[in-house]
Structure 1
Amino acid sequence: MKQTPKVKESEELINAIIEGIQRKKGQDIIKIDLTKINHSECNYFIICHGNSTTQVDAIAHSVEDTVEELTGDIAWHKDGYKNSIWVLLDYAVIMVHVFQHDTRQFYNLENLWADAKIETIKTENN
Structure 2
Amino acid sequence: MSQIAKLLTTDLKHIDHLNTGLLEQVSLLATRRKRNSVARLTKNSKIFKAIIHAIKEKKGEHIVSLDLRKIPEAVADFFIICEASSTTQVKAIADYVQEHLKTTVEEAPFHSEGQQAAHWILIDYVNVVVHIMQPETRKFYKLEEMWMDAEGEEY
Q: Secondary structure at the match of 2:45?
A: helix
Identical counterparts, % of pairs? 38
Greater relative CO, 1 or 2 (CA 8 Å, sep 6+): 1
1:7 and 1:108 mapped to 2: Cα distance? 24
Matches for 1:28-43 after TM superposition, within 5 Å: 28-43=62-77
Distance 1:37 1:79, change over 3 A: same
After superposing on structure 2, the runs of 4+ consecutive aligned residues of structure 1 that deviate more than 2 Å are 5-10
Q: TM-score, normalised by structure 2?
A: 0.72
Q: TM-score, normalised by structure 1?
A: 0.88
1:82 aligns with 2:116: yes
Matches for 1:1-126 after TM superposition, within 5 Å: 6-7=40-41, 11-121=45-155
Structure number with higher strand proportion:
1
> How far apart are 1:39 and its partner, in Å?
1.6
1:81 and 1:8 mapped to 2: Cα distance? 28
For structure 2, the 5+ residue unaligned runs are 1-38
Q: CA RMSD in A?
A: 1.6
Question: Aligned residue pairs: how many?
Answer: 117
Q: Secondary structure at the match of 1:40?
A: coil
Letter in 1 for 2:47: L
For structure 1, the 5+ residue unaligned runs are 122-126
